[in-house]
Chain A
Amino acid sequence: QQQVKQSPQSLIVQKGGISIINCAYENTAFDYFPWYQQFPGKGPALLIAIRPDVSEKKEGRFTISFNKSAKQFSLHIMDSQPGDSATYFCAARGYGGSQGNLIFGKGTKLSVKP
């Protein structure tokens, strides 16, 4: 119930291509879905986030697509660049009790080849 399942574990994309990372959840009490980006030797940093009242959110080259009925959400990186090479974590946060904490997926290591 508390898990967030993330795939793929690793992803190699050519420069200019589209990177897609998927996440799925079970707990319908989750109401906030952020994506974090982590570069080697650094802590994770918030990249983009969405709430379940919208189906899509776009910030520059990064887009979250959200499917409430399927309990899935995904990160799309358009025109992927070598500088996007990092580990990406999806997460979910619920409402009340221990569900107020962020639950993270296991991460996707993205490599963008020049």
Chain B
Amino acid sequence: EAQVTQNPRYLITVTGKKLTVTCSQNMNHEYMSWYRQDPGLGLRQIYYSMNVEVTDKGDVPEGYKVSRKEKRNFPLILESPSPNQTSLYFCASSYGRRNTEAFFGQGTRLTVV
């Protein structure tokens, strides 16, 4: 089954404790991205990657890092999480940046206390 898999689905952590949210896709997609979803703000892009070792900032990159060492994986790293990073996070992938359909993961609900 074609899918984008995120882990964990739920995470509660404390301020300053480094964490990684993993994202993996099995569709051989080149383009992957991370979004955060907040009430009233919709989906905002954090980072995106057009291929292995090619990443770039989205609209809200502050406080986040990403890496793309393999085509299928695109982890999101929070080096020192803060409460304002409490949000619902989605990973998405598509065959190309201009491909018609982006496939989203199930989401990771992160709470930073």
Q: Enumerate chain A interface residues (CB-CB to B < 8 A).
A: 6, 9, 32, 34, 41-46, 49, 89, 93, 95, 98, 100-102, 104-107
Contacts and interface: CB of A to CB of B under 8 A. Distances in A.
Closest 10 CB pairs of A and B: A43-B104, A106-B42, A104-B43, A100-B97, A46-B101, A107-B42, A104-B42, A44-B104, A43-B90, A43-B105
Contacts of B35: 104
Nearest to B9: A41
Contacts, number: 50
A101 B104 contact: no
A92 B28 CA distance: 24
17 contacts: A32-B98, A34-B100, A34-B101, A41-B106, A42-B106, A43-B4, A43-B90, A43-B107, A45-B104, A46-B101, A49-B101, A93-B98, A95-B98, A101-B33, A102-B102, A104-B44, A106-B40
